[in-house]
Amino acid sequence: MFMNPVRTVGWLIIALLVTVIFGGIGVYQARTYFGGETVSAHVDHCETHRVYSRHGSHNETDCSGTWTTKDGSKHEGDIPGTDFSDEGHDVQLRALGDSVVEDNAVGALWPFIVSGIGVLLTIGAAFAVRSARRRSREMRAAPAYAGPPPGYRPPTQYGPPPPAYPQQYGQPYQGPPQGRPQPGPPQYGAPQYGPPAYPPQGQPPQGGYPPPGYPQQPGGYPRT
């Protein structure tokens, strides 16, 4: 299927943006996860709000709270990976100053998964752009259609009629066998009625035959 080069370039740009944005978020959260310390954060308040996008809308729950690092500094901000069930309770996080992430690798490093998908999409979109451009160049370089070649006739709906008599495959048709008429419409004429004459042509009569009134010569019924 031929793809529009402009559309494939658009998909390539989107894939690059996904890779760069989520890769940057992943680096930031990986720094907090690997360079931070484990803290106990208290979830003070949670609220739900409606988020709208071009594909629809959905509800999101954000929770905020406070935590204290080893140097005695008290921090506050959003608590990731929490909901209304955690309100008023303590959760364990990894903190680096004011930055916190969940205290598990999947929750902290999930942006790298999205970024990896973006890399695969970027590679696929790059190949699609290359293929679309090559196809576009081939179509521009192809000569214009000059019509059918000389002597060309479009095929008929039905093939050639079969031969009148069977023949051996691979041999040209030699006509009907000797003494056999060509096929054609039946010959019409006066019908011959009545029984055949007795005796048959060229045969001697037998005693007691023919019965009375039977014709002696070929043709017709006896006159009455």
H/E element, 110 = helix 105-141
SS3 state at 142: coil
Sequence ranges of the domains in the chain: 5-137
* DSSP 8-state class, residue 141: H
Looking at residue 98, what is its pLDDT?
Answer: 85
Which residues face 48 on adjacent strands? 61
Alpha carbon separation from 139 to 5, 125, 126 (Å, rounded):
13, 21, 20
SS3 state at 11: helix
* DSSP 8-state class, residue 151: T
Alpha carbon separation from 144 to 4, 5, 136, 148, 154 (Å, rounded):
21, 22, 15, 12, 21
One-letter amino acid at 180 equals: R
What angle, 0 to 180 degrees and rounded to 10, lies between the N-to-C axes of helices 5-35 and 105-141? 160
- The CA R_g of the chain, rounded to the nearest whole Å, is 50
Looking at residue 1, what is its pLDDT?
Answer: 46
SS3 state at 62: strand
Tens-level pLDDT at each residue, the chain (224 residues): 445 656 777 788 888 888 899 989 889 889 888 988 999 999 999 998 888 877 778 888 899 999 998 888 899 999 998 889 899 999 999 998 888 998 888 888 888 888 888 888 888 888 887 887 787 777 777 676 667 777 777 666 666 655 555 555 556 656 666 666 555 555 555 555 555 555 666 666 665 556 666 555 554 444 44
